[in-house]
């Protein structure tokens, strides 16, 4: 018979993760379940989930919640969704939502407390992040947006990961096509109609909607502009190629830090030095002052059309 153990940090560390452990693993050490129950009742330990405990009465940390979710779900379980996004260094759009854990389709486990269980025939190969089994980036992104019914939230998740160069539109589209089609309509629309057209932010998606509903000429989204010698000039948010008009969407959030603002001013100066007309619009105005923005763009367009169009090479996003 194994020696009986106490519910203490040493015992938990020997079978647990981030200071939490499965009751079944503790009893396998020789710790009676009655001892675990008494210590929980006395406040010396805490029940985090059914069958998962931690030493001490304090609230579990984020790491402990994530570890508890994996221990509750059982072997080969993988954290996905917003929690996985956060651990990949991206934004969790709904941080108060339950932790999504994907398990093998044959596993009999149900959602509980702060854990959402999803059975899948496509169990991803986990990546270890801080000792936790985390879904690959593309899977985490798609599992997140499939659960969102807010268009701008879907846009935010998808544009962030592409804008930061962490993955591509093609890889996200492939992951979306390969998985469950439940909740796929909005992300499919954003990937195909917006990111596929070069849009790289929620603000640019709003601008694209405004442009589509106006009678303004054709615009390219996020093209890279070069002079005839091949020297890079800038990447414009929007660009009217027939007259050489750049449309900059001035996001306050993006330009809040001085280095970002300085970088923006330098980019505009390069475009203007090369003879481009540059129009500026705050994102909120594309929602609240649509007619005025369209009229301003027409004015900038006419100004650009009155000048010789600069000779440049345009590379689409």
Q: Helix 290-305 crosses helix 202-213 at what angle (to 10 degrees)?
A: 80
Structure confidence at residue 121 (pLDDT): 94
> What pLDDT was estimated at residue 24?
92
DSSP string, 21-43: EEHHHHHHTT--HHHHHHHHHHT
Looking at the structure, tell me whether residues 229 and 304 fall in a common domain: yes
Of 92, 89, 137, 143, residue with least CA distance to 116: 143
Instruction: Report the CATH number that the domain containing residue 215 is assigned in CATH.
Output: 3.40.960
36 and 108 inside one domain: no
Residues 150 and 136 in one domain: no
State residue 229 phi and psi, 5-degree precision: -85, -5
Domain with 111, as residue range(s), is: 63-142
**294 and 209 inside one domain:** yes
Do 110 and 17 belong to one domain?
no
Instruction: Give the helix/strand (H/E) hosting 57.
Output: none
In terms of domains, do 129 and 55 share one?
A: no
| 300 and 222 together in one domain | yes
- Whether 122 is in a domain gets the answer yes
Does 133 lie in the same domain as 151?
no
Torsion angle defined by CA atoms of residues 53, 56, 62 and 67, in that order, rounded to the nearest 10 degrees: -30
Instruction: Tell me the C-alpha to C-alpha distance, in Å, between residue 50 and each of 27, 36, 96, 202.
Output: 15, 13, 20, 40
Given a cut of 70, the residues of the chain with pLDDT beneath it are 1-11, 13-15, 251-261
245 in a domain, yes or no?
yes
Domain boundary among 173, 197, 221: 197
**Are residues 233 and 191 part of one domain?**
no
Separation of CA 98 from chain center: 16
Rounded to whole angstroms, how far apart are CA atoms 46 and 39? 8
Of the residues 177, 197, 217, the one at which a domain ends: 197
Query: Is 260 part of any domain?
Result: yes
**pLDDT value, residue 254:** 45
Q: Say yes or no: 130 and 172 in one domain.
A: no
Q: How far apart are CA 54 and CA 52, in angstroms?
A: 7
**Same-domain status, 210 and 307:** yes
Is residue 2 assigned to a domain? no
Neighbours of 104 (CB within 10 A): 16
pLDDT of the residue at 3: 47
Looking at the domain assignment, is residue 3 inside a domain? no
* 154 in a structural domain: yes
Q: Alpha-carbon distance 68 to 113, whole Å?
A: 11
The confidence score (pLDDT) of residue 2 equals 45
Going across the sheet that includes 232-235, the strands are 232-235, 224-226, 313-315
Please indicate, yes or no, whether residues 206 and 311 belong to a single structural domain of this protein: yes
The answer to whether residue 92 is domain-embedded is: yes
In a domain, 175, yes or no: yes
H-type helices in the chain, by residue range? 9-15, 23-28, 33-42, 62-73, 81-87, 137-145, 151-163, 169-178, 185-189, 202-213, 258-273, 285-288, 290-305
- The structural domain count of the chain equals 4
- 241 neighbors 199 (Cβ within 8 angstroms): no
């Amino acid at each position: 018979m194994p020696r009986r153990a106490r519910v203490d940090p040493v015992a938990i560390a020997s079978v647990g993760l981030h200071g939490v452990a499965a009751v079944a693993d503790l009893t396998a050490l020789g710790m009676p379940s009655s001892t675990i129950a008494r210590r929980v009742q006395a406040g010396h330990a805490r029940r985090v989930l059914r069958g998962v405990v931690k030493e001490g009465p304090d609230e579990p940390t984020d790491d402990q919640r994530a570890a508890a979710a994996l221990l509750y779900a059982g072997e080969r379980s993988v954290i996905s969704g917003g929690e996985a996004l956060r651990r990949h260094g991206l934004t969790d759009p709904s941080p108060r939502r339950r932790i999504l854990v994907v398990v093998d389709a044959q596993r009999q486990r149900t959602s509980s407390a702060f854990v959402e269980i999803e059975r899948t025939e496509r169990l991803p190969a986990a990546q270890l992040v801080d000792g936790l089994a985390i879904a690959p980036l593309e899977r985490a992104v798609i599992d997140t947006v499939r659960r969102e019914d807010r268009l701008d939230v879907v846009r935010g998740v998808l544009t962030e990961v592409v804008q930061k160069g962490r993955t591509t539109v093609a890889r996200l589209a492939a992951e979306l096509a390969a998985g469950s089609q439940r909740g796929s309509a909005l992300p499919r629309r954003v990937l195909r109609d917006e990111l596929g057209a070069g849009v790289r932010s929620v603000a640019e998606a709003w601008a694209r909607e405004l442009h589509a509903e106006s009678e303004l000429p054709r615009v390219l989204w996020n093209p890279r502009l070069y002079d005839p010698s091949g020297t890079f000039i800038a990447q414009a948010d929007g660009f009217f190629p027939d007259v050489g008009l750049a449309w900059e969407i001035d996001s306050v959030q993006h330009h809040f830090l001085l280095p970002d603002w300085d970088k923006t001013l330098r980019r505009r100066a390069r475009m203007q030095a090369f003879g481009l007309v540059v129009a500026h619009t705050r994102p909120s105005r594309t929602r609240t002052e649509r007619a005025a923005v369209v009229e301003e763009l027409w004015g900038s367009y006419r100004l650009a059309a009155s000048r010789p169009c600069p000779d440049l090479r345009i590379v689409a996003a």
